[in-house]
Amino acid sequence: MNNTYQAVMNRRNEIMKKSVGIDYTKYEQTGIGFDYELMMNSQGYNIDKIKQIQSENMVGNTPLVELKNITEYARKYTKKGYGARIFLKDEAANISGSFKARRAALAVDKAKELGYKGVIAATSGNYGAAVAALAAKAGLRCIIVQETFDSKNISQPEISEKARKCEAFGAEVIQLSVGPELFYTFLKLLEETNYFNASLYSPYGIMGIETLGHEIAEEVMEKAGKYPEAVIITNAGGGNLTGTARGLKNAGAINTKIIGASVNLYGLHMASDIDFNRKSFTTGHTGFGIPFATFPDRSDVPRSAARPLRYMDRYVMVNQGSVFFMTQALALLEGMERGPAGNTSLAAAFSLAQEMREDEIIVVQETEYTGAGKHIQPQLSFAKRNKVKVIFGNPLDEIPGKNIILPKNGSYLKYEEISMENLRKSYLKKYKNMKLSKEDYKFLSEELRVDISTIKDII
């Protein structure tokens, strides 16, 4: 078989169909669209079945914690009557230490049901650990493919930490340098092993997270007698936001605002060898969040089930220093030592809560485990070794790749708004010179949550 780069990429759809157990052609429509809801509803799962699978695998039913001390800290900087109650869904309690165990539980269950001998995932992080843990529990083999180091063979402490966790669960970890070889190697391994593609962006992955939104809606209703006014979700590839939002809506929380949050890494290219080690966050940042929002089908399946613009009401970003600040605040004020990814949305929630009334509720949708490579000190030490300055000051002055600015105090911690209109414009760029049908416009209207006349105006 021809295993040159181009030959393998040309076989992409054939490899995907065989490895993920889904015939995506069933959902394609004439023109640019596909039937998203049919794809999501045709996989043989409902919320009760998903909850059962997760419960049997030590996944889900995680604690919902009210952060009373952090709420009081936020209220120091508000006018009277403001400062929403901040709640946190503690997903570090899952079997592998993050919400991604919800995705992995469903993907591994499907692999076992379909008779695959093993599973493969291409991921630098928590999802790999989740797939490895659930595969171990199911008695399946597991390969994790990681983008780990630059051309000088220098790897980030957080990525090395996650590799060790995957290996602890018995997975084989294949580590690569930054660049296009990741997807090529992933495809080649799927073809050689005939393992299941435990993709982040398949319907199984997204449906697994719907239970998280469902639990948030039910638990806040039980504790406060109402649904939360807002849920804030760290956004990278869009699956976390999509699944949580679908779960909230399905549970009845149709008026809850869905807010995405990412770390500001503008100016750093995710496939750049030079930029690779000048960032302190491997996920939950704008380098993934914006491209995947504006072109979701760039993912490792023909049609991504992660469609954040279908659900997102607002999108905000915070700087790296603010996330480190809130990581420390969570430990010092609430006694909860957690990793950086979930603290991205916590940093944004701290600022957003100050604009909301004190009787309102904002939920930070997840936490993750922490370990030797994820702690603040190794992260900041690594940044310094890569000539990134670490200083105290105004976080809004931070230049990604040049410096990390820790807030002088909580009053300096502010989010920045990302324009939803600009995201929609970016999504629609590729259709600028294309003749679109009524069906195409209907699909785009559903994708971007605006009416057809607005789509036409933007194009």
Residue ranges of the alpha helices (H) in 226-296? 239-251, 286-294
Residue 103 has a pLDDT of 96
Q: Identify the DSSP state of 28.
A: B
91 phi-psi bin (left φ>0, alpha ψ -120 to 50, beta other): alpha
Q: How far apart are CA 250 and CA 237, in angstroms?
A: 22
Q: How far apart are CA 71 and CA 350, in angstroms?
A: 8
Residue 282 has a pLDDT of 86
Burial of 341 per CB tally in 10 Å (0-12, 13-18, 19+): buried
Residue 139 has a pLDDT of 97
Reading across the β-sheet that carries 314-318, which strands appear in turn? Answer: 64-66, 85-89, 361-364, 230-234, 257-263, 314-318, 416-418
Question: Any idea which fold 5-52+98-203 has?
Answer: Rossmann fold (3.40.50)
Residue 296, strand partner residues: none
Residue 270 has a pLDDT of 80
Residue 343 has a pLDDT of 96
Q: How far apart are CA 307 and CA 433, in angstroms?
A: 23
Is 59-95+208-418 in the same CATH topology as 5-52+98-203?
yes
Q: Which CATH architecture has domain 59-95+208-418?
A: 3-Layer(aba) Sandwich (3.40)
Residue 80 has a pLDDT of 95
Residue 99 has a pLDDT of 96
For the chain, the domains span: 5-52+98-203, 59-95+208-418, 424-458
Residues 6+ apart with CB under 8 A from 1: 7, 191
CA 156 to chain centre: 19
Q: CB–CB of 227/255 below 8 Å?
A: yes
Residues of the chain with pLDDT under 50: none
Residue ranges of the alpha helices (H) in 312-406? 320-334, 340-352, 376-385
Residue 21 has a pLDDT of 86
Residue 49 has a pLDDT of 96
pTM of model > 0.85: yes
Residue 418, strand partner residues: 315
Tens of pLDDT along 408-448? 999 999 999 999 999 999 999 999 999 999 999 999 999 99
